[in-house]
Chain A
Amino acid sequence: MNQNDQESRDLRRVNLDTTLVESSETLDPNELPDEEICLNVSSLSLHYGEALALKDISMKIPRQRVTALIGPSGCGKSTLIRCFNRMNDLIDGVRIHGRIELDGTEIHDRNVDVAQLRRQVGMVFQRPNPFPKSVYENVAYGLRLTENLPKSELDDRVEWALKSAALWEEMEGRLKESALGLSGGQQQRLVIARAVAVKPSVLLLDEPASALDPLSTLKIEELIAQLKSDYTIVIVTHNMQQAARVSDYTSFLYLGELIEFDSTANIFLNPSKQQTEDYITGRYG
């Protein structure tokens, strides 16, 4: 990609000297009022040893919306999503600069309880990872660790979580069966049920459907659409059509830099940056 291509075209600023029909699409994420921001990332940089994986990233992730992170392999999208619940803390040699505020609280502050943070910011990975336990125990596991609920309330919460993950109808009579016997799509929804059972405010989904068949993928996408009314969702996906289908906002990352962050409609219909356009139109390696 040459320098000219990399320059911002910012076509929306072009004065056509005529009347334009303005889009009434989702607001620019940078123009949202503070109360609508869930995660506020400022000047975030991350090193793995000497390697700079994230470069000075700033973005405001809206509350109760789906924000997709897209970009080629190695661009830093998984690294970024793992910053939101400090999963990168577990990796040796990681250094992080900058700020991430969750509902106004800096998540790197010394007095932040990381275990509590991870309950508040749940995560689902590419491969379904149910525990080798029953369906019921998978959902109840986190609750037993965090809340001392009576059996009847625990049952209610398990049912609620399975309903939230659109799995109750399929699992109602199979709660004692091993989770490992479920299909891949069911396992992934079970993992989502496990994540929502502890009532987080944010759900991080790292390629949640990439190991699933098309029908299971559609169920997960439908579930995301339902969950966003209660949770702020950040999804990493390699599938650009999936980003276009499920998200309200999309950010494009390349080589650790945030190239563009805008409403999904703007990103997929009329991106401002040539690099974004090249990536989503398949002109990019």
Chain B
Amino acid sequence: MSRHISGEYDKELDSLQSTFTMLGGLAEQQLDKAMRAFLTNDSNLAAEVRATELQINRHAVELDRNATFVIARRQPAAADLRLVVGLLKNSTDIERVGDEAERIAKLSDQVSPYDSSRSYHSDLTEMHAKSSVALRNSLDVYARLDVENALKTIAADREIDELYDTVVKLAIDEMSKNHSTLTDDLSIIWVARSLERISDHAKNICENVVYLVHGQTIIHNVQ
């Protein structure tokens, strides 16, 4: 799209985009570190995640404030308005991805060292991998305004939902067999739930890409 007559307006929109890109990058790192902290029982890494969460919140607040100011100052219309509204929505999603990552990191301090011999291990690691890909794809399609891949990422969310159901079922089976690991198995359900939510946030960002490009809202959970 061509530049505005007002170069200052372009700079303001570019600045919002840059802040979001940085936020997205931080959220990706948070998810990666949180899962590593959980799977390897690394309390230092978990502490790092908690510290970074503060930064994400600060940047998200800054993005919201600046986007609101652009609305007040420029009264954007059409694609510009959709961009700013989309950024406000995306900012909330990314901030919540950070919250979920922090939740996973906190769990790593509360449970026994992770046991990779448990029945849910392969499904949980697959869920982690797919959630990370979904998050990365959502940021990528947003940067490229790539509707085709946004729709693919939205469709892939179903696989993560199915994995979530499987992990929960296996964790419940483990709990019923061995009461001594109840807390650890329960934490797996919480981790899986966080991963599932992260994937939902990635899906929301992809839906915003469709809104931004076509000006139309697609129904949540559409396949």
Contact = CB atoms under 8 A, between A and B. Distances in A.
Interface in B150-178: 151, 154
A283 B82 CA distance: 16
A282 B74 CA distance: 10
B215 interface: yes
Interface stretch (B1-9, B37-45, B51-59, B179-187): B1-9
A111 interface: no
Interface residues of B, number: 27
A249 to B, nearest CB: 16
Interface string B107-143: 0000000000000000000000000000000000000
A16 B216 CA distance: 10
B104 to A, nearest CB: 31
Contact of B5 (A269, A270, A284): A284
A19 B76 contact: no
Most chain B CB inside 10 Å of its own CB: which residue of A20, A240, A281: A281
B82 A241 contact: no
Nearest to A284: B5
Nearest to B215: A270
A92 interface: no
Nearest to A9: B214
Contact of B77 (A12, A19, A281, A284): A281
Given A282-B4, A282-B9, A16 B210 contact: yes
A241 B75 CA distance: 8
Contacts of B213: 11
A271 B77 CA distance: 10
A19 B222 contact: yes
Contacts of A285: 5
Nearest to A272: B215
Contact of A11 (B1, B9, B215): B215
B22 interface: no
Nearest to A280: B77
A21 B79 CA distance: 18
A113 to B, nearest CB: 42
Nearest to B5: A282
Interface string A222-241: 00000000000000000011
B151 A17 contact: yes
In this complex, the interface size class of chain A, counting residues with CB under 8 Å from chain B, is: 20 to 34
Contact of A20 (B1, B9, B78, B217): B217
Contacts of B79: 277, 281
Contacts of B1: 283
B17 to A, nearest CB: 16
Interface in B61-98: 75-82
A21 B207 CA distance: 12
Interface string A5-41: 1000001101011111100000000000000000000
A185 to B, nearest CB: 23
Contacts of A117: none
Interface in A263-285: 268-271, 276-278, 280-285
Nearest to A244: B77
A268 B81 CA distance: 9
Contact of B2 (A268, A271, A278): A278
Contacts of B219: 18-21
A283 B79 CA distance: 12
Interface of B: 1-6, 9, 75-82, 147, 151, 154, 210, 213-219, 222
Given A240-B77, A271-B78, 8 more contacts: A16-B216, A20-B216, A21-B219, A269-B81, A270-B82, A270-B214, A280-B77, A283-B2
Interface of A: 5, 11-12, 14, 16-21, 240-241, 244, 268-271, 276-278, 280-285
